[in-house]
Amino acid sequence: MKILVINGPNLQLLGRREPEIYGKLTLEDLEDQLKQVATALSVELEFFQSNHEGDIVDLIGNAPQNGFSGIIINPAAYTHTSVAILDALKGAGLPAVEVHLSNVKSREDFRHHSFTAAACVGVIAGLGFDGYEWALRSLVKILNKND
C-alpha cells in the first residue's frame, strides 16, 4: 500500500513560522514521525510539499497511475480557495484525508470553510503532528476495508 502525503504552501516553514500556532518542529520532523508509523503499519509513504497549486493538482491527478492507494493532504491556504485541488481529488478517485495542524475553526473566519474537504473521507484538525498520524491510521483502515 502506497500513500501520498501532500503539504501545501508555507509548510516548508514549519518550526519557524508562527511556532505558537504550528509548533517548533519542522516538516522533516513530521515526515520522520510519519515514516515510523508507516513502518509499523507496513505501508509506503511518499512526501510532497509545494507552494504551487498547479504542481499539487498535477500530482493528485497522476496519483492513481503512479500506484498510490490514498492521499493525506494538508492543502494549507489552498484549503479555503482551491476548486482546482477539489476537482483533482474528485477526479483521482482515491480516498483522501484532509489534515490541519491547527484548529481552523478557532482561527479567522475565512479559515472556517474548506473547499477540499468535500472530496475527502474525513478531516482532522487541531491535533498538531498527531493529526497526521491519525489521518494515516484512519486511511489505512479505510483502504483495508476496501480490499
Q: Mean pLDDT, consecutive 10-residue segments, the chain of 147 residues?
A: 96 82 83 97 98 98 98 94 97 97 67 84 93 98 88
Q: What is the pTM of this model?
A: 0.92
Catalytic residue list contains 80:
no
Q: Domains in the chain, start-ordered, CATH in brackets?
A: 2-146 (3.40.50.9100)
Of residues 22, 52, 78, 132, which has the active-site annotation?
22
What is the pLDDT, as a whole number, of residue 128?
Answer: 87
Q: What local confidence, expressed as pLDDT, does residue 147 receive? A: 65
pLDDT at 14: 84
Q: Tell me if residue 112 is catalytic.
A: no
HEC sequence for the chain: CEEEEEECCCHHHCCCCCHHHHCCCCHHHHHHHHHHHHHHHCCEEEEEECCCHHHHHHHHHHCCCCCCCEEEEECHHHHHCCHHHHHHHHHHCCCEEEEECCCHHHCCHHHHCCCHHHHCCEEEECCCHHHHHHHHHHHHHHHHHHC
Q: Of 80, 100, 112, 132, which residue is the catalytic one?
A: 100
